[in-house]
Structure 1
Amino acid sequence: MTDRFSLFPPDFVWGAATSAYQIEGSPLADGAGPSNWHLFCRQPGAIDNGDTGDVACDHYRRYADDVRLMKRLGLQAYRFSVSWSRIFPEGRGKLNPKGLAFYQRLVEALNEAGIEPYLTLYHWDLPAALDDLGGWVNRDCAAWFADYAHVLMRELGGEVKHWITLNEPWVAVDGGYVHGVHAPGHASLAEAPHAAHNLLRGHALAVQAFRADGEGQIGLVVNLEPKYTASDKAEDKAAAARAHAYMNRQFLDPVLLGSYPEELAEIYGSHWPRFDEADMKLLREPFDFLGINYYTRSVNRADPQALPVGASPVRQPGATYTEMDWEVFPSGLQETLEWVKRRYGDIPLYVTENGAAMADPPPEDGRLQDDDRIDYFRTHLLAARAAMEEGVDLRGYFAWSLLDNFEWSCGYAKRFGLVHVDRATQVRTPKASAHFYSEVIATRGAVLRS
């Protein structure tokens, strides 16, 4: 019965995603070094309510319970990131065996539970010691990243078969180096293109390290969103085109087509560097899959005050918005997946993040009804399926996020989780959306038809 009505193939991968700083807590435990986010959270006014990731979801101590929870929900895969400064407290040099042991225990628990680990090497938390040396603006950071990656591949390669180099390098650069709202808190158009380029160099060098000593597959994760124009005015169309190049093409054109979008020279102006041929050749290092994080679209109008692209989003009358003030626009996921196929070819794809922060009520008697999030997942999964029907090679879907967690500059005010986390007690309560997602997995999407 299930097979007849299923929408997704038997080998489609169903998972959920998190990141280290957002859930682990205990950031300095067992010899770990501070990250740039550990320090950034201590800057006055940087984070809503002065929140930090010092406790987060206490996953560092509760990981075994969380793995059991994943198994009860029926997850087939778990995408998580590693804290670089747990492995190398100074970012390089002496290895911290206790930090490595935590991830060895986590991976072992996942494999014993039949949950496939998808390991992300970098989800924005750079060792503070490397940030002191210039962070991603320093060309050497790419090599330091590859060295760190190589150690993890050597130590965990027998247990982890799916590796991701970078998560959303656009956010790391735009938030951390352009607008200063993420760690390291810089606002410098002069630094930003160098940070972006060195992130991609680090990705390529890590892929080379994987080819030398890794097992399985390795990929890159980017966040994408369609860029619509607010009107037929030439200036609005040009603004949307710049926004598209800046967000959607800046980190894909170099690694898949061998060149940066021409619009970046206009966006960065005199700060746009010239990159040598050897670097551009390095960026073309082949990798195995592309992960796409999708949340929304943006409708753009020209705005000379909105640096760096001269475009600002326009709120749409009558549209539904999440607590992040992001428009709920499920057809944009299909559009994005199909755009990637058209522009870059038949690359194996995963939706590596998709979800919504909603105004959840508190749990009552162990239950939390979040119908708006259920509707979000239902409509976006149907959009993903529609893209597959158009020939997109989509291999899996990871809901963001497993747990209500530390949402970067928003602190704990925004809840994306399938599972509610009580900040005071750390009690986990699966929401109605978690049970719905379990049904989706169990029926391979047949429940989406109802």
Structure 2
Amino acid sequence: MACISKDNTGPTEKEIAVEGTRLISRTQENKRPVYSWKNIATCIALLFGLAGISFPTFFRSTNHNLGKKLGEGENSALETISLLQVFPEDFVWGAATSSYQIEGATHEGGRGVTIWDTYCEEEGNIFDGSSGDVACDHYHRVEEDVRMMKDLGLKAYRFSIAWARILPNGKLEGGINRMGIAFYNRLIDELLKYDIEPWVTLFHWDLPQALEDEYGGWLNQNIVGDFGTYASVCFEAFGDRVKHWITVNEPWTMAVQGYEDGTKAPGRTKNPQVEVYLAAHHLLLGHARAVRVYREQFLETQHGKIGISNSGDFRYPLDSESSLDRDAAERAMVFQYAWLTDPLVFGEYPLEMRARLRDRLPEFTNSQRQEIIGSLDFMGLNHYSTLYASVKKEASIYGGYWTDMDVEFSGDPSWPKNFMGWNTNPDGCRELLYWISTRYPGIPIVITENGTAEDDRDLEGAKNDEGRRKFFEGYIRACREAIDMGVQLEGYFAWSLMDNFEWEYGYTRRFGICYVDYDTLKRTPKSSALWYKKTIETRGSNIRMA
């Protein structure tokens, strides 16, 4: 997952969102669409609910005052319907982690050095001076951790493969690390033993340092071929059992925070006007190459699906009556979500970005365009927060991605904030899902990360993490509402399975539904984990739809 910037080059929290044809107008006083109806509609609700039919999408209005116009009541039709509904039977319920954040054993099992090993060695990069050398020691605790997943009722587990644990120097010429293959085989087999479906991410930011040293990593087009080769090794080794692949986790975070803000590895800040867009370009080409390799060489026999996980948070216009603010909110979405999704669907970057950046935004060749267009079977979405967007009052002299976007961000005092300082607003999640499904119709969506950091500094406090439980309840409710609106949402992965190394924050932020004592490495499910277990068991019927 991504973290907030530690400097002043951008917004105070992770800035990710989507673009659509135009942001829905909202009044300043009431941002949440109201779905209440007069009690006279309850009979209709009962008919739909008892028949097991999803709430008709034609009841939804983009005007958030619709409910007030129709009347409000404590026992509204939507509430009646929702109480009778559950998530689809084949809905995927899971939790997620990433290799560098939990595995540890960075010097064991033939693993090569990664850019995160190097980044953590430089003083000042990590808030508490820590690293992922031990992390949660998952490398030595696979069986224990998978049993914990089984006890929590998880149906799926999303994890990432460390590229340097498979190809220590990043390339096939350096040899395949059979101990790395054996480790992930052990994990996958243990998951399947308990009927937990593996969802595997090929790249979650821990690039082999050898590739960074040789040609600059994601700044060089040579990485596209090397990533395709690495992906092929993984498909060959694990594809007989893995049926869902994610190529790249949050290319936005890797590009912006790795090549402009410098808050994530490789920590570059010298030429953000160019490097941010070049790194993102090669990340997308690497994704497309991996998809091509899978479809041409493995799909016929393995019958799996492959996609990408893009980060996305919703943006409301600060003043919905201002065309400048509406444009700013749309522009923020273009520069974040659409920047890294449009090429995969349409084969081109968004026109507004091209108009602003001109030749600083790389072009796709004809052959690259043919490879990238349509290169996803599903869209993974990592979602955490919502902000207001408005036109900048003062021009920036800094230059780079945030200057190019030219948007100012703010929050609402009424929105709760988590321990990261991020806004909690489930309505934004619902709006985001609807927005994505409108811009990219017909492509299934899976929430591959959603979670919150709370102040779980000791075990006793963590056992009653009511703030996290409320967060999950609100956001899963928003998912249910999105499905009722016709969104093709097929799964939800809580971030994260356990407390872990939270990138530049080290071990000072805890996102896990299971508490980790970093002295003993003992895992303890938090109350939110037990609540999530019940949610999975009941397919969400324990959530009251307000």
- Considering the TM-score relative to the shorter chain, is it more than 0.5? yes
- Counterpart contact for 1:242–1:267, Cα < 8 Å: no
Q: Would you say 1:413 and 2:413 are equivalent positions? A: no
Instruction: Tell me which residue corresponds to 1:102.
Output: 183
1:385-411 per-position Cα deviation (integer Å, ceiling 9, x unaligned): 111111111111100000001111111
How many angstroms apart in 2 are the aligned matches of 1:324 and 1:430? 21
Deviation at 1:287, TM superposition (A): 2.4
- Secondary structure in structure 2 of the residue aligned to 1:406: coil
Instruction: Tell me which residue corresponds to 1:75.
Output: 154
1:192-245 per-position Cα deviation (integer Å, ceiling 9, x unaligned): 211111111111110111111242111111111112222355554443333211
- Counterpart contact for 2:513–2:525, Cα < 8 Å: yes
Q: Would you say 1:213 and 2:298 are equivalent positions? A: yes
1:362-394 per-position Cα deviation (integer Å, ceiling 9, x unaligned): 223x97101111111011111101111111111
Structure 2 counterpart of 1:394, from 448, 472, 489: 489
Structure 1 counterpart of 2:251, from 155, 160, 169: 169
Q: Would you say 1:255 and 2:344 are equivalent positions? A: yes
How many angstroms apart in 2 are the aligned matches of 1:204 and 1:230? 36
Deviation at 1:275, TM superposition (A): 3.1
Structure 1 counterpart of 2:368, from 265, 279, 284: 279
Structure 2 counterpart of 1:126, from 207, 210, 234: 207
1:375-390 paired onto structure 2 within 5 Å: 375-390=470-485
Deviation at 1:412, TM superposition (A): 1.0
Instruction: Tell me which residue corresponds to 2:97.
Output: 18
How many angstroms apart in 2 are the aligned matches of 1:126 and 1:266? 32
1:121-200 paired onto structure 2 within 5 Å: 121-132=202-213, 133-187=215-269, 188-200=272-284
How many angstroms apart in 1 are the aligned matches of 2:439 and 2:374? 18
Q: Would you say 1:47 and 2:136 are equivalent positions? A: no
Counterpart AA for 1:255: L
- Secondary structure in structure 1 of the residue aligned to 2:248: strand
How many residues in Structure 1 have an aligned counterpart in Structure 2? 447
Structure 1 counterpart of 2:384, from 286, 295, 306: 295
Q: Mean alpha-carbon deviation: is it higher for 193-202 or for 307-316?
A: 307-316
Gaps of 5+ in 2: 1-51, 53-82, 397-401
- Counterpart contact for 1:165–1:220, Cα < 8 Å: yes
Structure 1 counterpart of 2:112, from 21, 30, 33: 33
Instruction: Tell me which residue corresponds to 1:335.
Output: 431
- Secondary structure in structure 2 of the residue aligned to 1:172: helix
Counterpart AA for 1:376: F
1:152-197 per-position Cα deviation (integer Å, ceiling 9, x unaligned): 1001111111111111111110111121111111122211211111
Q: Would you say 1:442 and 2:537 are equivalent positions? A: yes
Gaps of 5+ in 1: none
How many angstroms apart in 2 are the aligned matches of 1:408 and 1:266? 34
Q: Would you say 1:87 and 2:166 are equivalent positions? A: yes
How many angstroms apart in 2 are the aligned matches of 1:36 and 1:221? 21
Percent of counterpart pairs with the same letter?
A: 43
Normalising by structure 2, report the TM-score.
0.79
- Secondary structure in structure 2 of the residue aligned to 1:54: coil
Q: What stretches of structure 1 move > 6 A for 4+ residues in a row?
A: none
How many angstroms apart in 1 are the aligned matches of 2:190 and 2:139? 13
Q: Would you say 1:316 and 2:401 are equivalent positions? A: no
Instruction: Tell me which residue corresponds to 2:14.
Output: none
- Secondary structure in structure 1 of the residue aligned to 2:340: coil
- Counterpart contact for 2:281–2:362, Cα < 8 Å: no
How many angstroms apart in 2 are the aligned matches of 1:222 and 1:360? 28
Deviation at 1:30, TM superposition (A): 1.5
How many angstroms apart in 1 are the aligned matches of 2:349 and 2:202? 24
Counterpart AA for 2:405: V
- Secondary structure in structure 2 of the residue aligned to 1:388: helix
How many angstroms apart in 2 are the aligned matches of 1:164 and 1:149? 10
Instruction: Tell me which residue corresponds to 1:346.
Output: 442
Counterpart AA for 1:205: R
How many angstroms apart in 1 are the aligned matches of 2:481 and 2:176? 46
How many angstroms apart in 1 are the aligned matches of 2:298 and 2:238? 11
1:53-111 per-position Cα deviation (integer Å, ceiling 9, x unaligned): 11111101111100000000000100000000000010002111111111010001001
1:221-274 per-position Cα deviation (integer Å, ceiling 9, x unaligned): 111111222235555444333321111100111111221012323554663333
Distance 1:235 1:208, change over 3 A: same
Instruction: Tell me which residue corresponds to 1:201.
Output: 285
How many angstroms apart in 1 are the aligned matches of 2:119 and 2:322? 41
Deviation at 1:142, TM superposition (A): 1.0
Counterpart AA for 1:100: I
- Secondary structure in structure 1 of the residue aligned to 2:491: strand
- Secondary structure in structure 2 of the residue aligned to 1:107: helix
1:334-357 per-position Cα deviation (integer Å, ceiling 9, x unaligned): 111111111111211111111111
Q: Mean alpha-carbon deviation: is it higher for 226-235 or for 418-427?
A: 226-235
Instruction: Tell me which residue corresponds to 1:59.
Output: 138
1:123-158 per-position Cα deviation (integer Å, ceiling 9, x unaligned): 111100111121111101011111000011001111
CA RMSD, Structure 1 to Structure 2 (Å): 1.8
How many angstroms apart in 2 are the aligned matches of 1:374 and 1:196? 35
How many angstroms apart in 1 are the aligned matches of 2:407 and 2:237? 45
Deviation at 1:323, TM superposition (A): 1.2
Distance 1:48 1:367, change over 3 A: closer
